[in-house]
Amino acid sequence: MTLSVKSKKIHYRYIYDVVKQIPCGCIATYGQVAELAGFPGHARQVGYALSVLRNTAIPWHRVINAKGGISNRSNPDYVSLQQILLEHEGITFNADGGISLAKYRWKPNE
C-alpha cells in the first residue's frame, strides 16, 4: 500500500500531498503521514517539512504527534493557534490538552 519512492532523496511535496488529503475534522500523526507518503520511519522529516512550510493552503494543523498532542516548537504561538484551528474544525481536547487518536485519526482506506 505504500507509495514507491522514486528517489533516495525525500521530496517534501509527497508529504505535503498527503497532508492536503487529511479531511476537515480529522488528524494524523507525523509517523502516519510519513508512512502514507512512502517514507516509513521518517516522522521527523515530516515535522521538519511542515516547519519550513509557509503555504497556508496546506492543513499543517491537522498533523500531531503519536501521543495525541501538539508538539512544541520554537514559536509557542503556533501551538495555541493549532489548537484553536482544530477546535474550530470540531475537534475536542481532553483535560490534559491531548486529542483522542482513536476518535479523530484519519483512516485513508475508509
Partner DNA sequence: GGTCTGACTAGGT
Partner DNA sequence: AACCTAGCCAGAC
Q: C-beta of 90: minimal distance to DNA in Å?
A: 19
Q: How far is the CB of 50 from DNA (least distance, A)?
A: 4
Q: Residue 9 or residue 107: which is nearer to DNA going by CB?
A: 9
Ordered DSSP codes for 10-78: PPHHHHHHHHHTSPTT-BEEHHHHHHHTT-TT-HHHHHHHHHT---TTS-GGGEE-TTSSPPP-S-THH
> Is 55 or 109 the residue whose CB approaches DNA more closely?
55
Shortest distance, CB of residue 96 to DNA, whole angstroms? 9
